Structure 1
Amino acid sequence: MKRYKILGGIFLFVVLILSACLDDSKKYNFYGESDNWSVKYKTEVTKEREFGEYIFKYIGKEPAPVVFVYKIESTSLNIGIAEDTFNQKDNVHIGTVECTGCKAYTTENDKIEATLEWDGKTETIKLDSK
């Protein structure tokens, strides 16, 4: 009888530890490419928040622009900035976005578009879930 109580206590302890370690977050990766740009949006979504990272890489044949304008949009996401520059080596710009208590969060079926403007040119790239 005492052995069952000990085993029951151990079982309950293991179940509590395992349930505390469960990850309720969902991770999504979106990717799109044009002749001039490669765009990635990676996000982790929980019930309470969304944390995303977007990466722009200039892959065009002409020299990379000094400044560029970008906007990322979907039904649940709207990231825009007036002007920016590359903040990494190899013509890469990385940024993050976080939203807590948003009305909607990104899902794997979202249709995401990135619009980039530089040197008098504009491209809109559709990002697909990967």
Structure 2
Amino acid sequence: MRKIYFLILVTLLILVGCSNDSLHFKGESEHWKGEYTTNVDGTTENGQFEFEFKDGKQKKKNLEINVDGLTGGSNRKESENDETVITMKTSCSGCSVTRDSDVFKVTIKWDGNEESFELK
């Protein structure tokens, strides 16, 4: 009976050690909500930022989104955008990956406005 429990314990430890980490970060400002969801497997990461304009679908001119974190940054610039939700995909292999204690600083500029917030 002890051998069965030991075998089950070893199998669980191996499975947990091989699993991917799925991480989720959120934050918001007056006009924007943001999320970052990512899957980390060793030194490989695939994620996606989503930024939602709270005032609905309307044209935004000179849109600029900058994201800074401990593992790097992402940015997007557009002369015009009318999407309510803006998506930015990320991926890397052999890189320094995101940890659940990381914080991302987001700065969004549009139509002469600027707001900053953190994704935690």
TM-score of the pair, normalised by structure 1? 0.71
- What is the TM-score when the length of structure 2 is the normalising length? 0.76
Q: 1:92 aligns with which of 85, 91, 96?
A: 85
Asked whether 1:36 is paired with 2:31, we answer yes
AA partner of residue 41 (structure 1): Y
How many correspondences in the alignment?
Answer: 109
Q: Report how far residue 80 of structure 1 moved.
A: 1.1
Q: Which sections of structure 2, spanning at least 5 residues, go unmatched?
A: 1-6
Q: Give RMSD over aligned pairs.
A: 2.7
Identity value in percent: 22
Task: Tell me the residue number matched to 1:77.
Answer: 72
CA offsets, 1:53-96, max 9 Å, x none?
110100038945155110111111311123276585xx111221
More strand by share: 2
Alignment-derived partner of residue 54 in structure 2: 59
Distance 1:59 1:119, change over 3 A: same
Equivalent position of 2:63 in the other structure: 68
1:114 maps to 2:106: yes
